[in-house]
């Protein structure tokens, strides 16, 4: 049951992200490029193998899911067009969908901000929480 | 043989010896599948394809005809595909003019190195022909009045 | 009516696993004209060919159909077999039931059905085949080599040593190519110039070799054995016969600010220049875009100072027309443009350089006289980072999808040389894979690690950020440690992908040689004919065919030379008998065919014809079968159907159409 | 007409030409037929009027083989055909003495009859010397009249112009009779749905009786032996055995003359079944003009026809799908 469940999720992630993890040549440029690398428990280059190996359950439980800034630097620089950022984005969407909605609404976000918050974070926050 | 009554189109592919036939060989040796409905006729160059051949194929019941040659500029004979391009453009336009569906004829440039393109092209062409169904209209031209 | 034998090959299990060969034999046996059908494990084997001979004898066959692999593979084999058995070789047709059938279909019923149809089409064609006899054409015993790098030089030397005349056409002012820009060569670390220069000198001195430098191929016509080529010899503005190569002109030239192509733009050169000291010929050229005399009319210093009186500002481009029997393409490579790779800061910092630029920096004759120094401030670097696969193995449009093949080895070489000469410099190499297939290659790489202490990190660099203190902050990943690394480097070296020379597409078009999407020329067969183009008489040498290092290039150059020599050794070539032919009773003499003939093979003659009793003189098309290459353009241009192509006649093709659509 | 006859007699008499190729009076007032005149006397039967639509250039293929020069009367549009034949080495310029005859539009008896005029015994107003604006027609039912323009052939409504492209001398006045859009009918068909197009051509082509009149009159269709009569394509005459052959015949015929057809309209003029065959040829002309640039076959002798020519930047065949 859980196997097929996992398999399903991996397929869903591939579908949502529109990426093919098999294209990865394991160069690690995504992890080299990631500004949130040190915050993550599962590193960007590992996202890909988790999906390729149908090990999505661990991925969706990871902290990385919520640490990724969705800056998409990895998507931009990936030489193989594998797009790890899109994969984590898709995994996040999977969780949000399963929970049945966002647990943060767009209206709440302004109160959580201070002047120092970079604009990129703002954009990614919307992207992340407002589905 | 297959039991279901799925429509199996008859498709004739004219391939030039130097690029597209070799591209089809590469598709084969790379095991890139495409439907068995496609049958290839080897010609030296796309410019060898006479409009008569195409009309004859339709007359005899083909559902689609595709002509493959070297990319413009890369013709083994320098200029053959340029003439083929003009001839086929005008012929296809005429077929469209008399009411034959546009999708039944196609020209595609496939190099000897493009096994993937060959296979993709054939898969796509067969799917399009299947979408168009049996060649009723040219069948009508065969006077099933 | 023909008596046709059909031979169905199993090709081991290559065909037999997906095509029911017995069934094909059974069905085809009842086709009109078929008097014999059998199957065999390997038709191409000696035993298989013997089966054909036996059937020809016993069944008095007049035509043969072999259902097997592609005709591009074994058509020649079976034609020869037929000839030995006493049948005209052009009475053989191949039904391609391997590449076009068994290998691409999974369902045995479908594949068998298709194999039968392909066999039927071939039988229908053979029914209309006629015996054909090849003609003969002459061979011009001279070869042309396009490109004067190590590939071209080696090919030319080998051809010349075999006793044939050979011309080298080189675009730049000197032969030598990329190899002349290299400092040391892997895996033995000998000095590039030390092994290349003698070959350059040998080529220049060889009585059978003519070198056209600063020249380009402008036009090619003809065909194997008989090419005619126009070579544009660009004006050097120096009389090569008078010039002594003293170099005084270059010393005195006041225009000194042009970036040196030879030094990859890292240094400058004068307007009148030889690209490097060992240049061959040692005759300078004047760059008219930089020359003050050409720009303003004033100056003329070089002319004044030249004791030999060799400087001639009025020199014009010259077109040389020469005939060749064979042409070798050895146009080599360049590194890709890095404009799309912002993250490596190549365009932002002079201390981020390509590996080829590092070659110049390390070279004693280079811009830093061989001292390893930062190009920004001339300081000695302490920390150097090498980044592998920059633009190689990319599936996006920024780079190239292929592996450039040479980078792993030259990076190991660079790392080793630096550590050897400057033991206090730390060298870090970010790699994806280290690829070292080649004799003594892995050993070489291991030496870099074990003996020279080069730090190889499995991971990639995400970005290089130039710092205010002049350093370069390198952010990379270490996948084995699962860490992100931040390193302050003094220099970053990019193992930049290589690509075929930009001009090669133009040349391929002139030669009608097949070229792939990456601009590498296609070989006639990936495994069995790697140095020949599918276009007869065109041969490939060096990186023009695919990435390769020096030892491989030299081997291939030799192989290409042998193929050329094999061709030039013949006095006559048999020509393809599948040529066009006009039916004089149908010909209108309208010139449509001649208009589309790419070889000028069609002329018109007033011929007396007897058209069913009407005797009259008519303008009739005559095809010169030595010139005709058999494309068939004329056959379609001909409105009356008078022009037909032997071996691919209208009726033959129509019969195939009919058989397929039956 | 008299000037023409006088000049022809002169040229015959002084030996400049060995014969005259023109039209002679037919059995009806509206059907003069092409004829050779070899003596001065025979020229009494010579006629030139509004019904002399026949394009005589094709006769020059055979006339070029005869001894001596042939005086040929060519209307402005016929000269395009002659030029095209010259380009294709089918006629000998030195064997032709071309009199460019004036033309004010040629008449189509079928069109006149369609206006409801039956039982025609005589027609005046088509003599080419007058203004040519009204036809006075005697019928067994009395006098009728019809405007000249209403009786004109379709091709004259899209006249290529009154200029002779090749001639030795010109006799008579010409006028440009174009008052229609040349490609309007083609465009109308192009705009139809595939089903409508198909129905249109099916109904037209099903009238074909394979009489070969179109082929025989066409100056571009001048092969010594037509592919449909030879064994080269297994396509020898199978009239009415297999109706596909008919469609194939008309498509291939149009294809063979594509880029060479001067749009002289003879095919439609002579078709006994009234099939608008020029719509095939004109489609090719329209496509060639739009895709490869304006080209007028026969406007200039020696020019290279679009189908034996190319440009490296030519449109891909898929352009057909986009149009």
pLDDT digits (tens, 9 = 90+) for C141-198: 999 999 999 999 999 999 999 999 999 999 999 999 999 999 999 999 999 999 999 9
Average pLDDT over residues A29-41: 94
Tokens coding C392: 């190689």
- Domain C4-126: give its CATH architecture: 3-Layer(aba) Sandwich (3.40)
Pick among C586, C591, C639, C648 to test the D interface (most D CBs inside 10 A): C639
**Contacts with B12 (C-beta within 8 Å, 6 or more apart), sequence order:** B39, B41, B57, B62, B64, B65, B66, C657, C660, C661
CA distance D104 to D96: 24
Partners of chain D (3+ Cβ pairs below 8 A): B, C
Q: Which range has the worst mean pLDDT, A27-31, C455-459, C627-631?
A: C627-631
Physical contact, A and B (3 or more Cβ pairs within 8 A): no
Q: Write down the ipTM of this complex.
A: 0.80
Per-residue pLDDT for C33 more than 90? yes
Please indicate whether the domains covering C142-234+317-332+519-568 and C335-499 agree at the CATH topology level.
yes
A22 Cα distance to chain centroid: 17
Average pLDDT over residues C426-438: 96
Domain that holds residue D111: 2-171
Q: CATH class for domain C142-234+317-332+519-568?
A: alpha beta
Q: C132 CB near a chain B CB, below 8 Å?
A: no
Separation in Å, CA of A26 to nearest CA in chain C: 7
Q: Do C460 and A23 touch (CB under 8 A)?
A: no
Q: Domains of chain A: which residue ranges?
A: 2-103
In 3D, which of C62, C70, C119 has the Cα closest to residue C92? C62
Separation in Å, CA of C344 to nearest CA in chain A: 11
Contact B78, B68 (CB under 8 A): no
pLDDT at D121: 87
D11 and D106 in a single domain? The answer is yes
D196 and D144 in a single domain? The answer is no
Physical contact, B and D (3 or more Cβ pairs within 8 A): yes
Which of B51, B59, B79 is facing D255, going by the closest CB pair?
A: B51
D150 and D299 in a single domain? The answer is no
Element (H, E) at A10: helix A2-17
The CATH topology of domain C335-499 is: FAD/NAD(P)-binding domain (3.50.50)
Contacting residues of B for C109, CB less than 8 Å apart: 1-2
In 3D, which of C428, C429, C433 has the Cα closest to residue C403? C433
Contact B111, B23 (CB under 8 A): yes
What is the pLDDT confidence band of residue C513, given thresholds at 50, 70 and 90?
confident
pLDDT at A54: 86
Tokens coding D19: 């014969």
Q: CATH class for domain B11-141?
A: alpha beta
Average pLDDT over residues A31-43: 93
Which of C534, C656, C661 is facing B61, going by the closest CB pair?
A: C661
Which of C394, C459, C475 is facing A79, going by the closest CB pair?
A: C394
Which of C72, C645, C650 is facing B25, going by the closest CB pair?
A: C72
D198 and D51 in a single domain? The answer is no
pLDDT at C662: 84
Contact B86, D315 (CB under 8 A): no
Residue C54: count of CB within 10 angstroms of its CB: 14
Q: What is the pLDDT of residues A64-122, one digit of tens each?
A: 988 898 889 999 999 998 989 999 988 888 887 776 555 556 666 666 667 776 676 66
Q: B108 CB near a chain D CB, below 8 Å?
A: no
Which of C73, C109, C636 is facing B87, going by the closest CB pair?
A: C636
Element (H, E) at C645: strand C643-645
Contact C119, C28 (CB under 8 A): yes
Contact D86, C589 (CB under 8 A): no
**Rg of chain C, C-alpha, whole Å:** 31
Question: What share of residues in chain D are helix, strand, coil (percent, to 5)?
Answer: 40, 15, 50
Provide the CATH number for the domain formed by A2-103 in this structure.
Answer: 1.10.1060.10
Which of D223, D233, D304 is facing C650, going by the closest CB pair?
A: D233
Q: Do B82 and D314 touch (CB under 8 A)?
A: yes
Q: Do A29 and C477 touch (CB under 8 A)?
A: yes
Report the number of distinct structural domains present in chain D.
Answer: 2
Per-residue pLDDT for A5 more than 90? no
Q: Where are the beta strands (DSSP E) in D95-207?
A: 96-101, 120-124, 134-139, 142-147, 169-171
Task: Please tell me the pTM assigned to this model.
Answer: 0.74
Q: Do C121 and B10 touch (CB under 8 A)?
A: no
D13 and D101 in a single domain? The answer is yes
D16 and D127 in a single domain? The answer is yes
Q: A71 CB near a chain C CB, below 8 Å?
A: no
Q: What is the pLDDT of residues D194-236, one digit of tens each?
A: 889 988 988 888 888 888 899 999 999 989 988 888 877 765 5
Q: What is the pLDDT of residues C530-572, one digit of tens each?
A: 999 988 899 999 999 999 999 999 999 999 999 999 999 999 9
Q: Which residues of D149-170 are buried (b: 16+ CB within 10 A; e: fewer)?
A: eebbbbbbebbbebebbbbeeb
Residues of chain B where predicted confidence (pLDDT) is lower than 70: 1-4, 137-145
Which of C73, C630, C650 is facing B44, going by the closest CB pair?
A: C630
Which of A29, A32, A81 is facing C395, going by the closest CB pair?
A: A81
pLDDT at A131: 44
* Per-residue DSSP letter, C238: B
Contacting residues of C for B36, CB less than 8 Å apart: 101, 105, 107, 110-111, 113-114
What is the pLDDT confidence band of residue C461, given thresholds at 50, 70 and 90?
very high
Physical contact, D and A (3 or more Cβ pairs within 8 A): no
Tokens coding C309: 């009186």
C residues 641-660 closer than 8 Å to B (CB): 645, 648, 650, 653-654, 656-658, 660
pLDDT at D308: 94
What is the pLDDT confidence band of residue A124, given thresholds at 50, 70 and 90?
low
Separation in Å, CA of C454 to nearest CA in chain A: 19
Domain membership of residue D238 (yes or no) is yes
Per-residue pLDDT for C52 more than 60? yes
Separation in Å, CA of C210 to nearest CA in chain D: 35
Physical contact, B and C (3 or more Cβ pairs within 8 A): yes
Q: Domains of chain B: which residue ranges?
A: 11-141
Each of the 323 residues of chain D gets a pLDDT tens digit; together they read: 789 999 999 999 999 999 999 999 988 888 899 999 999 999 999 999 899 999 999 999 999 999 999 999 999 999 999 999 999 999 999 999 999 999 999 999 988 988 888 888 888 888 877 777 888 898 888 899 898 999 999 999 999 999 999 999 999 989 999 999 999 999 999 999 988 998 898 888 888 888 889 999 999 998 998 888 887 776 554 544 555 666 788 899 999 999 999 999 999 999 999 999 999 999 999 999 999 999 999 999 989 999 999 998 999 999 998 87
The tally of CA atoms less than 13 A away on the side-chain side of residue C307 is 5
Separation in Å, CA of D220 to nearest CA in chain C: 10
Pick among C341, C408, C479 to test the A interface (most A CBs inside 10 A): C479
Which of D190, D199, D244 is facing B143, going by the closest CB pair?
A: D244
Q: Do C393 and A79 touch (CB under 8 A)?
A: yes
* Per-residue DSSP letter, C642: -
Q: B124 CB near a chain D CB, below 8 Å?
A: no
Q: C486 CB near a chain A CB, below 8 Å?
A: no
pLDDT at C306: 95
Contact C330, C557 (CB under 8 A): yes
Q: B78 CB near a chain D CB, below 8 Å?
A: no
| Residue of chain A whose alpha carbon sits nearest to that of C487 | A32
Q: C637 CB near a chain D CB, below 8 Å?
A: yes
Contacting residues of D for C592, CB less than 8 Å apart: 88, 305, 308
Q: Do B137 and D189 touch (CB under 8 A)?
A: no
Q: What is the pLDDT of residues C248-299, one digit of tens each?
A: 999 999 999 999 999 999 999 999 999 999 999 999 999 999 999 999 999 9
Pick among D191, D238, D317, D321 to test the B interface (most B CBs inside 10 A): D317
pLDDT at B50: 95
Q: Do C514 and B33 touch (CB under 8 A)?
A: no
> Based on the number of CB atoms within 10 Å of its own CB, is C615 exposed (0-12), middle (13-18) or buried (19 or more)?
exposed
| Residue of chain C whose alpha carbon sits nearest to that of A79 | C394
Domain membership of residue D177 (yes or no) is no
Sheet holding C209-212, edge to edge: C209-212, C165-169, C142-146, C326-329, C538-540
Contacting residues of C for A19, CB less than 8 Å apart: none
Rounded to the nearest integer, the mean pLDDT of chain B is 89
In 3D, which of A130, A122, A51, A117 has the Cα closest to residue A85? A51
The domain C580-646 is classified under which CATH number: 3.40.430.10, 3.90.660.10, 3.30.70.3270, 3.40.50.300? 3.30.70.3270
Which of B72, B89, B143 is facing D320, going by the closest CB pair?
A: B89
Q: Domains of chain C: which residue ranges?
A: 4-126, 142-234+317-332+519-568, 248-305, 335-499, 580-646
Q: C502 CB near a chain D CB, below 8 Å?
A: no
Q: Do D252 and B82 touch (CB under 8 A)?
A: no
- Residue C655, phi-psi category: left (phi > 0), alpha (psi -120 to 50), beta (remainder): alpha
Q: What is the pLDDT of residues C193-246, one digit of tens each?
A: 999 999 999 999 999 999 999 999 999 988 899 999 999 999 999 999 999 999
Average pLDDT over residues C26-34: 96
> Angle at Cα C613 formed by Cα C610 and Cα C619, nearest 5°?
30
In 3D, which of B93, B96, B55 has the Cα closest to residue D291? B93
Q: C509 CB near a chain B CB, below 8 Å?
A: yes
């Amino acid at each position: 049951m859980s196997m097929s469940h996992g398999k399903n999720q991996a397929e869903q992630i591939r579908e949502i992200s529109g990426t093919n993890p098999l294209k990865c040549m394991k160069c690690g440029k995504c992890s080299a490029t990631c500004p949130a690398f040190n915050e993550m428990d599962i590193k960007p280059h590992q996202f890909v193998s988790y999906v390729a190996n149908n090990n999505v359950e661990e991925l969706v439980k990871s902290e990385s899911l919520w640490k990724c800034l969705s800056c998409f630097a990895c998507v931009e620089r990936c030489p193989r067009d594998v797009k790890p950022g899109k994969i984590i984005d898709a995994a996040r969407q999977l969780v949000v969908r399963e929970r049945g909605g966002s647990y943060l609404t767009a209206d709440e976000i302004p109160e959580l901000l201070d002047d120092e918050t970079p604009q990129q974070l703002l954009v990614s926050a919307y992207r992340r929480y407002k589905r | 043989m297959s039991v279901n009554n799925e429509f199996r189109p008859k498709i004739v592919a004219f391939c030039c010896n130097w690029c597209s036939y070799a591209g089809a060989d590469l598709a084969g040796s790379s095991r890139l599948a495409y439907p068995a409905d496609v049958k290839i006729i080897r010609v030296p160059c796309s410019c060898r394809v006479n409009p008569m051949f195409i009309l004859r194929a339709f007359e005899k019941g083909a559902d689609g005809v595709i002509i493959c040659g070297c990319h413009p500029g890369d013709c083994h004979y320098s200029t053959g595909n340029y003439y083929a391009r003009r001839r086929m453009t005008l012929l296809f336009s005429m077929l469209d003019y008399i009411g034959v569906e546009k999708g039944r004829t196609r020209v595609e440039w496939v190099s000897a190195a493009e096994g993937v393109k060959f296979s993709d092209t054939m898969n796509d062409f067969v799917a399009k022909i299947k979408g168009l169904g049996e060649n009723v209209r040219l069948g009508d031209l065969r006077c099933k009045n | 009516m023909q008596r046709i034998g059909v031979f169905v090959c199993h090709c081991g299990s290559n065909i037999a696993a997906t095509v029911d060969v017995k069934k094909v034999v059974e069905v085809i046996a009842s086709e009109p004209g078929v008097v014999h059908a059998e199957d065999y494990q390997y038709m191409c084997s000696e035993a298989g060919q013997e089966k054909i001979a036996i059937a020809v004898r016993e069944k008095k066959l007049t035509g043969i159909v072999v259902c097997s692999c592609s005709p591009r593979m074994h058509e020649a084999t079976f034609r020869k077999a037929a000839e030995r058995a006493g049948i005209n070789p052009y009475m053989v047709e191949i039904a391609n039931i391997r590449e076009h059938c068994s290998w691409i279909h999974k369902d045995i019923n479908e594949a068998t059905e298709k194999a039968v149809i392909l066999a039927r089409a071939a039988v229908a064609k053979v029914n209309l085949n006629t015996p054909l006899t090849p003609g003969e054409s002459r061979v011009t015993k001279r070869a042309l080599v396009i490109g004067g790098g190590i590939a071209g030089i080696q090919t030319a030397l080998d051809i010349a040593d075999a006793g044939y005349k050979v011309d080298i056409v080189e675009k730049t002012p000197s032969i030598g190519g990329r190899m002349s820009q290299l400092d040391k060569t892997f895996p033995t670390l000998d000095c590039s110039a030390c092994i290349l220069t003698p070959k350059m000198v040998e080529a220049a001195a060889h009585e059978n070799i003519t070198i056209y430098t600063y020249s380009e191929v402008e036009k090619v016509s003809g065909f194997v054995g008989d090419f005619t080529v126009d070579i544009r010899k660009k004006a050097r503005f120096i009389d090569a016969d008078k010039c002594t190569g003293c170099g005084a002109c270059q010393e005195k030239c006041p225009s000194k600010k042009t970036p040196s192509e030879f030094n990859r733009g890292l240094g400058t050169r004068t307007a009148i220049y030889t690209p490097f000291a060992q240049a061959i010929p040692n005759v300078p050229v004047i760059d008219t875009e930089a020359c003050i005399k050409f720009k303003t009319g004033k100056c003329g210093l070089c002319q004044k100072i030249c004791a030999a009186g060799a400087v001639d500002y009025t020199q014009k481009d010259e077109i040389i027309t020469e005939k060749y029997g064979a042409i070798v393409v050895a146009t080599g490579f360049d590194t890709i443009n890095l404009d799309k790779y912002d993250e490596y800061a190549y365009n932002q910092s002079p201390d981020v350089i390509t590996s080829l630029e590092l070659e110049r920096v390390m070279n004693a004759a280079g811009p830093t006289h061989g001292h390893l120094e930062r190009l920004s401030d001339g300081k000695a670097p302490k920390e150097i980072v090498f980044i592998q696969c920059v633009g190689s193995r990319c599936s996006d449009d920024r780079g190239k999808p292929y592996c450039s093949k040479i980078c792993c080895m030259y990076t190991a070489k660079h790392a080793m040389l630096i550590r050897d000469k400057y033991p206090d410099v730390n060298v870090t190499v970010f790699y994806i894979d280290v690829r070292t297939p080649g004799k003594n290659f892995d050993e070489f790489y291991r030496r870099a690690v074990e003996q020279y202490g080069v730090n190889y990190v499995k991971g990639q660099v995400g970005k290089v950020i130039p710092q205010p203190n002049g350093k370069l902050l390198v952010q990379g990943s270490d996948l084995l440690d699962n860490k992100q690394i931040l390193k302050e480097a003094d220099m970053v070296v990019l193992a930049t992908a290589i690509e075929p020379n930009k001009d090669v597409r133009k040349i391929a078009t002139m030669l009608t040689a097949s070229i792939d999407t990456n601009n590498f020329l296609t070989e006639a067969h990936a495994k069995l004919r790697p140095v020949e183009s599918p276009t007869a008489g065109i041969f490939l040498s060096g990186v023009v065919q695919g990435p390769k290092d020096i030892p491989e290039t030299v081997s291939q150059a030799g192989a290409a030379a042998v193929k050329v020599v094999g061709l030039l050794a013949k006095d006559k070539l048999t020509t393809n008998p599948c040529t066009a032919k006009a039916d004089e009773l149908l010909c209108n003499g309208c010139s449509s065919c001649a208009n589309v003939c790419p070889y000028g093979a069609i002329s018109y003659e007033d011929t007396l014809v007897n058209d069913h009793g009407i005797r009259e003189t008519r303008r009739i098309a005559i095809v010169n079968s030595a010139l005709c290459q058999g494309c068939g353009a004329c056959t379609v241009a001909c409105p009356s159907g008078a022009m037909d192509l032997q071996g691919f006649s209208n009726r033959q093709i129509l019969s195939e159409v009919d058989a397929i659509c039956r | 007409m008299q000037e023409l006859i006088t000049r022809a007699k002169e040229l015959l008499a002084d030996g400049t030409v060995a014969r005259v190729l023109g039209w002679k009076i037919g059995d009806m007032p509206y059907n003069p037929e092409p004829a050779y005149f070899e003596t001065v006397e025979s020229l009494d039967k010579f006629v030139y009027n509004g019904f002399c639509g026949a394009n005589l250039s094709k006769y020059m293929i055979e006339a070029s083989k005869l001894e001596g020069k042939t005086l040929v009367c060519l209307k402005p549009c016929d000269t395009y055909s002659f030029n095209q034949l010259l380009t294709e080495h089918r006629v000998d310029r030195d064997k032709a003495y071309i009199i460019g005859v004036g033309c004010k539009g040629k008449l189509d008896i079928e069109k006149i009859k369609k206006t409801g005029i039956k039982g025609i015994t005589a027609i005046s107003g088509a003599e080419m010397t007058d203004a040519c604006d009204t036809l006075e027609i005697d019928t067994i039912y009395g006098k009728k009249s019809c405007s000249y323009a209403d009786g004109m052939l379709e091709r004259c409504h899209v006249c290529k112009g009154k200029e002779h492209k090749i001639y030795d001398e010109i006799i008579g006045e010409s006028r440009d009779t174009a008052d229609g859009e040349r490609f309007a009918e083609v465009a109308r068909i192009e705009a139809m749905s595939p089903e409508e197009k198909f129905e249109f051509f099916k109904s037209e082509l099903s009238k074909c009786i394979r009489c070969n009149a179109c082929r025989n009159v066409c100056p571009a269709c001048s092969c010594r032996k037509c592919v449909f009569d030879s064994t080269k394509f297994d396509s020898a005459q199978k009239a009415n055995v297999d109706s596909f052959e008919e469609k194939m015949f008309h498509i291939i015929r149009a294809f063979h003359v594509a880029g060479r057809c001067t749009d002289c309209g003879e095919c439609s003029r002579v078709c006994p079944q009234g099939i608008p065959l020029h719509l095939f040829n004109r489609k090719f002309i329209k496509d060639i003009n739009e895709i490869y640039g304006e080209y007028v076959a026969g406007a200039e002798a020696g020019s290279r026809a679009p189908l034996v020519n190319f440009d490296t930047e030519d449109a891909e065949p898929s352009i057909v799908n986009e149009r």
